[in-house]
Structure 1
Amino acid sequence: MSWDALVESARTAVVWLLSAASVPVLVYFVVINTSYLVVITLAALEFRSQARRRDAAVAALGGPLTPGVSLIVPAYNEEAGIVTSVKALLSLRYPHHEVVVVDDGSGDATLSRLVEAFDLVEIPRDIPRDVPVQAAVRSVHVPRDGRTRLVVVSKENSGRSEAVNLGINAATEPLVAMIDADSILEPDALLRVTQPFTNDPTRMVATGGTIRAANGSRVVSGRVVRVELPRGWLPRVQVVEYFRAFLLGRTGWSRFGGLILISGAFGLFRRDVLVEVGGLDHTSIGEDFELVMRIHRHLRDQKRDYRVQFVPEPVSWTEVPATFRVLRSQRRRWHRGLWETLWAYRGMLLRPRYGRIGMVALPYYWLFELLAPLLEAFGIIVVPVALLLGVINIPFAIMFLLLAYGYAIFVTLCALAVEEWAFHRHERWRDLAMIVLASVVENVGYRQLTVIWRLEGWWASLRNKKQVWGVMTRSGFDEASP
């Protein structure tokens, strides 16, 4: 085939694609960005209603009716920061909480560091098997002083999910919080995240807190004392993502009554409900999403009145990926977990018995979360090719860019405005200017890369490729002097 014939064939194919898909794709971008605006508006309304009762409610907490909390910390090769993390968790402002560290067969000095720092002694304690756990328990340790509410369980290596499940079995309090070993909780985080359980103790089954990027912030003794932006643009863009997705997105869905995802890095659950549903599924790569979906299905099938709520105030700080390699692994895993969980619970889709979860939340996640990279890939590939072949006019290309990316930038700026109005965490105008610039950078290069990575994760699942959790390489927090 001659070059001219090849070009003509390509031109014909692109023209057909444009005629068939251009209008649906443009409508899709308008609808998805408008839906983000709706969610942001719901979040703003929730912030406003919570602000009226925030300080008084927190001041009233901590009394005899405050439910006890077990903080479960799965740890694998965390020797560098595990002692600082546990000390910070033990010193949280909360009247009745314990810390349960589950050492998942670490190959470093995680366990010995804990033994030395807290003067731990091994005890002959039998841990119940309320939630199935396959790995064997090696030892159980508690502080010698008999006062510090810390339990350290060492087990054979079998993954994070089983470590959390073992922690659920070892927990003695009615509420269970799952905390990553490298996360930093704000001092009153537990007071705030347990408030819904205090207000509605019979119906509330789970709450989630905000996850924010700590890269670049000032950290003293396991506490974020000054919020600052990261130095690199890659983590800066993720700061913007976390505003939109974790803080505003989930707050909006929570107000609507359709919250189906609580981050495994900071979620609080009733222990009895976790036992009912069998804890985390160790075969799922989207374990946190899958757990919340299983809770919804279980309680809806039983026709029980319950609530799942997101609380924007209790913040858990985490280090986001600073390299493209680690970020790629994370986003591939996230999208694979999204697909596998949505597919596993496809029987809930558009089923009235599952209420807003089945009729609104799940269709939204199918259309605007799962399928989004496919349609964005259309624009990334077809529109530039069409311009090169001369089969698309410039006004149409400009309209596509405005609707796909210009509208997205506007939505992100609205999200940033709402976040700053509600919490005002950035003290310097320079930081706000950098965040605005990062919202633009997100749509030029970064967003296109995440589209590719998400499709890779989806394709790996469709090919039934072995699940690999991957390694989150962290540079660690820069601990400043007090």
Structure 2
Amino acid sequence: MVQEICLLLLKASAVYFLCINVVYAVLMLLSWMKIKRYRTRLKDETVKDLPAVSFIIPAFNEESLIVETIQTYLSLPQAKKEIIVINDGSHDQTMKLLQTMFQLQKVQDRIFKSITQPELIVLEAPHMGKAQALNYGVTHATYDLICTMDADTIPTARGVEACLRSFATDSKLVAVGGVIQVLNSQVLKDNSPLEARSKEWLTSFQRIEYLRAFVCERLGWSFLGSTLLISGAFCMLKKEAVRKIGGFNHRSITEDFDLIVRLRRAYQGENHHFKILPITTCYTQVPRTIKHLSIQRMRWQMGLVQTLSENISLFFNPNHGPLGLFAIPYFWFVEVLSPVVEALGLVLIPYALYQNWVSLETVFMYLGIGLFFNLIITLIGVYFDNKYVSKKKYWSCTQSTIETLFLHLGYKQLTSWWRLIALFRSFSKNKAWGDKPREEIIHQTL
């Protein structure tokens, strides 16, 4: 009886991961179609005047990088822009550095403007958390388009222009984002990393993760009109849309995911668009220690469960088209439940081997097939990025192959374990974000 149950669960797990791989393959194909469609439309589009945009950047204890980060925004070629920095109750030198380096002048209570950079506005506030800080910034935004950014995120001129162009040509567009790349260097030139840290495996693994998530997956969902998440590290959207749903939800620990899901509900049936563009919009810092990576991934998982649970009515809801019928179930069955299935497999496979219920050859065969399939996905993503998305030739096929193999033989199991823990913690009340360490950024101008 025990043997039958064990083998049945193992077969069910194999079918489960086979289905996931089929879905990945379909999304990868759709991503390719998205890239081709975007390139075709780009050739036919003629935009004379791009709209203005307000960049909104919450900053909490960002003294190590705030000045250089703001410099990257000021260096963007877009003429009609403003940069709104919200000093969210920092207790380090963030505000003092901003005042000194940009010669801030107080114009109203807690509102400062730069004498040397007229497009820079700094709002001072008691510590409210990221969501409330964003809402505070929205209330002071001058332009109809806003772009939420993280203080450790570096925008690209091509990405900003592509998003503005999308709004100029699509009156039904509500929110747009692009491909986010890992900032793997402290030294920048023209708002791009100048050199890579090839020896930092933790950073390299996250680069692969971001590549697969954005280039091989989210572009596919965007092609289906089922974009469910536009990362808060770079999300450009209409200000009126944010106001329509009451702003960012301060109770959510993943306010960016929560915002897009609520916007999708608010604009149901109105034929409005949410897009991910096949172009690099920004580079962002990622955790460089196991400790901070574990904290980040558990929070992401708890935020995922929180937002999906609060919007359970979307699950298999035909009124939302592919979003309700495919995207939402995918997030439930894959993003939420896969750590449970993986943990089950890691327990049952050694036990079945010990009992001689399965052969070692069979286990290695399935493992090899899985690794080969994931390697193909990575290499196709590398090709897409090098040729169409970033066009920077950052990726080496040989190094990406090695990193992918190690990614699925240790690192992935570790992140799945953190996500599994987060599933149980999702039922607790302690869901604060906490601090995230920052690195100094050097912007090379010569």
How many residues in Structure 1 have an aligned counterpart in Structure 2?
Answer: 446
Select the residue among 203, 208, 211 that pairs with 1:240: 208
- Contact 1:299-1:306 within 8 A present in 2 as well: yes
* Aligned-partner SS, 1:234: helix
Instruction: Work out whether 1:471 is the aligned partner of 2:439.
Output: no
Aligned to 1:421: 387
TM-score normalised per structure 1: 0.87
Aligned to 2:80: 96
* Aligned-partner SS, 2:24: helix
- Contact 2:181-2:280 within 8 A present in 1 as well: no
**Greater displacement, 246-255 / 168-177:** 246-255
After superposition, give the CA deviation of every residue in 1:236-290 in whole Å (9 maximum; x if it has no partner).
1111111110233111110111110000100011000100101110111121111
Structure 1 portions without partners, runs of 5+ = 1-11, 125-137
* Aligned-partner SS, 1:258: coil
- Contact 1:227-1:426 within 8 A present in 2 as well: no
Instruction: Work out whether 1:43 is the aligned partner of 2:7.
Output: no
Separation (CA, whole Å) in 2 of partners of 1:157 and 1:261: 26
- Contact 2:149-2:233 within 8 A present in 1 as well: yes
Aligned to 1:8: none
- Contact 1:227-1:425 within 8 A present in 2 as well: no
Aligned to 2:54: 70
* Structure 1 vs Structure 2 CA RMSD: 2.1
Separation (CA, whole Å) in 1 of partners of 2:193 and 2:437: 24
After superposition, give the CA deviation of every residue in 1:318-339 in whole Å (9 maximum; x if it has no partner).
1111111111111101111111
Separation (CA, whole Å) in 2 of partners of 1:471 and 1:55: 44
1:428 deviates by 7.2
After superposition, give the CA deviation of every residue in 1:412-455 in whole Å (9 maximum; x if it has no partner).
233223333324645478x3321221111110000100110001
Separation (CA, whole Å) in 1 of partners of 2:4 and 2:331: 29
After superposition, give the CA deviation of every residue in 1:23-47 in whole Å (9 maximum; x if it has no partner).
2211111111111111111111221
1:55 deviates by 6.8
Instruction: Work out whether 1:435 is the aligned partner of 2:400.
Output: yes
Separation (CA, whole Å) in 1 of partners of 2:408 and 2:280: 29
* Aligned-partner SS, 1:188: helix
Aligned to 1:32: 20
Instruction: Work out whether 1:299 is the aligned partner of 2:299.
Output: no
* Aligned-partner SS, 1:196: helix
1:306 deviates by 0.5
Instruction: Work out whether 1:320 is the aligned partner of 2:290.
Output: no
Query: Quick one: percent identity of the two aligned structures?
Result: 30
1:307 deviates by 0.5
Separation (CA, whole Å) in 1 of partners of 2:372 and 2:223: 27
Separation (CA, whole Å) in 2 of partners of 1:337 and 1:231: 31
Separation (CA, whole Å) in 2 of partners of 1:400 and 1:477: 44
Q: Which has the larger radius of gyration?
A: 1
Structure 2 portions without partners, runs of 5+ = none
TM-score normalised per structure 2: 0.94
1:86 deviates by 1.3
**Greater displacement, 342-351 / 401-410:** 401-410
Aligned to 2:247: 279
After superposition, give the CA deviation of every residue in 1:55-89 in whole Å (9 maximum; x if it has no partner).
775xx54x44x221100000011112111111221
* 1:350-389 → structure 2 map (5 Å cutoff): 350-389=316-355
1:480 deviates by 5.0
- Contact 1:175-1:271 within 8 A present in 2 as well: yes
Aligned to 2:110: 139
- Contact 1:73-1:180 within 8 A present in 2 as well: yes
Separation (CA, whole Å) in 2 of partners of 1:459 and 1:121: 49
Q: Structure 1 18/403 Cα, relative in aligned 2: closer, same or farther at 3 Å?
A: farther
Separation (CA, whole Å) in 2 of partners of 1:478 and 1:85: 9
1:96 deviates by 0.8
**Greater displacement, 114-123 / 161-170:** 114-123
- Contact 1:94-1:188 within 8 A present in 2 as well: no
Select the residue among 391, 398, 410 that pairs with 1:445: 410
1:312 deviates by 2.1
Counterpart residue type for residue 210 of structure 1: V
Q: Structure 1 196/438 Cα, relative in aligned 2: closer, same or farther at 3 Å?
A: same
* Aligned-partner SS, 2:17: helix
Select the residue among 159, 170, 173 that pairs with 1:189: 159
Counterpart residue type for residue 175 of structure 1: L
- Contact 1:217-1:229 within 8 A present in 2 as well: no
Separation (CA, whole Å) in 2 of partners of 1:424 and 1:475: 23
Counterpart residue type for residue 185 of structure 2: G
Aligned to 2:302: 336
Aligned to 2:65: 81
Separation (CA, whole Å) in 1 of partners of 2:344 and 2:145: 46
**Greater displacement, 252-261 / 147-156:** 147-156
Instruction: Work out whether 1:161 is the aligned partner of 2:104.
Output: no
* Aligned-partner SS, 1:374: helix
- Contact 2:34-2:278 within 8 A present in 1 as well: no
Counterpart residue type for residue 233 of structure 1: W
* 1:103-142 → structure 2 map (5 Å cutoff): 103-124=87-108, 139-142=110-113
* Aligned-partner SS, 2:157: coil
Separation (CA, whole Å) in 2 of partners of 1:248 and 1:476: 31
Q: Structure 1 185/177 Cα, relative in aligned 2: closer, same or farther at 3 Å?
A: same
Counterpart residue type for residue 442 of structure 1: L
Separation (CA, whole Å) in 1 of partners of 2:331 and 2:434: 25
Q: Structure 1 37/421 Cα, relative in aligned 2: closer, same or farther at 3 Å?
A: farther
* 1:394-409 → structure 2 map (5 Å cutoff): 394-409=360-375
